[in-house]
Chain A
Amino acid sequence: MIYVYAIGGGGADAPAGPGIDDRPIEAVRRGSLAAFVSRGVERAPEPGENALLRHESVVDALMSDGPVLPMRFGTVLAGEGDVFAVLAARGIEFERSLAHLRGRVEMRVRALWHSPPPEPTGESGREFLEAKLERHRTAREVAGEVHPCLAELAVASTCRLLPHRGTAFAGAYLVDRNDADPLEHRLEQLAGTRGDVDVVCTGPWPPYTFSEAPDG
């Protein structure tokens, strides 16, 4: 089976690797596109920390070589014929996405509560709902103060409330590479205004969140 890491431009070189299952990385090229793959993978990898980091390091290496569309972790096709089939069927979409992403990176932000609002347990159904609503209201308030100020620096953005325990919101921002530092500076200014959360920024990342082609 073939593990697929990412789609990139036809001229991009395969990173040195090693990849999933210690397999080498190869490029399968079709026209202006290339799929970056490892052949001889026995099964879809389990999403442990090591396999996730292998996938990420391949995509990271490609990112320095031009625009890249990361695949969802765990994508395995039966053989090279299927890789060509995907490149043929979705080639126009992939080319449009790569053009849209050229010179752009993804920045990610998390707001972590110092002490999270209590988990809704609730003696009664009503108390449970009230605790849940209160958590949501506080998360929305935090996101409302931070997210729009960052989104205005971005080409595209997403905002998820309460994605994990202890996290008020998680935002992702697609920015021109030169706007990554200004976004971080803006966040530093905003971070000081709230005493109840730590705001953490990571990136620049390949555009995992923005790999779908824009409309039109």
Chain B
Amino acid sequence: MLRQREVTLVDLVDRLLGGGVVISGDITLAVADIDLVQLNLRALVASADKLAEGAE
């Protein structure tokens, strides 16, 4: 179950941050800071890793 959860979480991050329409150009725009995205991604995956280890 937890392994499934890990996959789901990684898949969620991949879908939402790796896909979708990107708006760029000179339109005024703020997007989530990319360093922050990577930091949070690491935190998410690390917490899922921990859950998975706990299950073994």
Which residues of A are in contact with B by a Cβ distance under 8 Å? 1, 4, 7, 43-49, 52-53, 55-56, 69-79, 82, 85-86, 89, 94, 108, 110, 112, 163-164, 167, 170, 198, 200, 202, 205, 208-209, 211-212
Q: Are A82 and B21 in contact (CB under 8 A)?
A: no
Q: Are A110 and B12 in contact (CB under 8 A)?
A: no
Give complex CA distance A202, B7 in Å.
9
Give complex CA distance A167, B20 in Å.
22
Q: Are B11 and A56 in contact (CB under 8 A)?
A: no
Which chain B positions have C-beta within 8 A of A77? 23, 27-30
Which chain B positions have C-beta within 8 A of A86? 23, 27
Give complex CA distance A200, B8 in Å.
10
> What would be 28 A-B contacts, judged by CB atoms less than 8 Å apart?
A43-B30, A44-B30, A44-B31, A44-B32, A45-B32, A47-B17, A47-B40, A47-B41, A52-B16, A53-B12, A69-B21, A70-B21, A72-B16, A72-B17, A73-B16, A74-B32, A75-B29, A76-B31, A78-B28, A79-B28, A86-B23, A94-B21, A108-B15, A164-B10, A205-B15, A208-B19, A209-B18, A212-B21
Is there a chain A Cβ closer than 8 Å to B2's Cβ? no
CB distance from B2 to the nearest CB of A (A): 13
Give complex CA distance A45, B16 in Å.
13
Give complex CA distance A96, B9 in Å.
31
CB distance from A99 to the nearest CB of B (A): 15
Who on chain A is nearest to B44 by CB?
Answer: A49
Q: Is the interface of A mostly helix, strand, loop or mixed?
A: mixed
Give complex CA distance A86, B28 in Å.
11
CB within 8 Å for A47 and B36 given contacts A76-B30, A164-B45, A208-B16:
yes
Give complex CA distance A72, B32 in Å.
10
Who on chain B is nearest to A210 by CB?
Answer: B19
Which chain A positions have C-beta within 8 A of B56? none
1/0 per residue B40-54: CB within 8 Å of A? Answer: 110011000000000
Give complex CA distance A85, B23 in Å.
11
Q: Are B16 and A82 in contact (CB under 8 A)?
A: no
Q: Are A108 and B21 in contact (CB under 8 A)?
A: no
Who on chain B is nearest to A93 by CB?
Answer: B21
